[in-house]
Amino acid sequence: MLVPVLSALIAAAALAAPTQAASEDPLRYVALGDSYSAASGVLPPDPTAAPQCARSTSNYPHRIAQRTGAALVDVTCGGADTSDYFESQYPGVAPQLDALSKQADLVTMTIGGNDSGVFISTIQSCGVAGLSTLGQGSPCKERYGSSFADTIRTTTYPDLVKALKAVHRRAPRAEVAILGYPWIMPKAVGCFDRMPVATGDVPYVRHIQWVLNDAVRRAAAATGTTYVNLNKVSEGHDACQPVGVRWVEPVLQGTNPVVVHPNALGEARMATRAVRVLGLG
């Protein structure tokens, strides 16, 4: 009777071995997205990235990979918008969706802020308007009204849905997550010496970013994507805060060459939040 029992045990062990080995395989992780994912301006630069992408090895995808032991493929690129998922952003830079496959386990991104130039246009336009009044009044709101928010709702949102659906098709097994953007401006009281936005336009700029993050949230909900909400955790860490507190660098008196973008602390905190929401441990 002993021989059959031993044979059964050996057979069971043989069947279990591949399962155990498979469980030890690293998480196959693909990072997509724009400069907030690439950590443009944060040192050190990623030597594997195209120079135009201004990618850092201190970005939140690298930090997530370090914490989880994941095998990372990072194609984040500064300036990317949703169209760059489908088309080459720069010569020699493949469409970001090309990095995905059925073998991917995890995909993360920030995207949407550059669509229709809304993010850049808001900061630039409101900065110029603020300088024209020496920081008084609300010249940006008076000039542009709901145009930025309208563009986000009518153009950015459907583009986000299209991009996220394409990600799920390319990586059907993967957990797909999209992060919101950490706060750039405080709720009400700004810092004209560092962020040249007029006093009355501070809530206006803040609201436009809220509309953008809400579009990201809604697109995630519409496509079965995990939304990593940064609204609460980034409160009090906007570009008006001092060094060591702020997660985003201001236009003036900042420490990074790429302004109005996350610094190393911001990228680390974005990674922490993503790890927690995704339950990566």
Active-site amino acid positions: 35, 261
Is beta strand 28-31 parallel, antiparallel or unpaired with respect to 226-228? Answer: unpaired
Which amino acid does the sequence have at 166?
A
Alpha-carbon gap, residue 257 to 233, rounded angstroms: 25
Among 203, 69, 197, which residue's Cα sits nearest to residue 134? 197
95 burial (CB, 10 Å; 0-12 / 13-18 / 19+) is middle
CB atoms within 10 A of CB 122: 28
Q: Nearest CA to 127 among 113, 144, 146, 115?
A: 144
Distance CA 239, CA 183 (A): 8
DSSP state of 259: -
Rounded to a whole number of angstroms, the distance between the first and last alpha carbons of the chain is: 46
Task: Give, in order, the Cα–Cα distances in Å from 251 to each of 37, 86, 93, 181, 258.
Answer: 19, 31, 29, 17, 9
Distance from C-alpha of 93 to C-alpha of 73, rounded to nearest angstrom: 14
Q: Any bridge partners for residue 31, and if so which?
A: 74, 108
Residue 66: both structure tokens together? 């370090």
Computed on alpha carbons and rounded to an integer, the radius of gyration of the chain in Å comes to 22
Return d(Cα 263, Cα 243) in angstroms, integer: 10
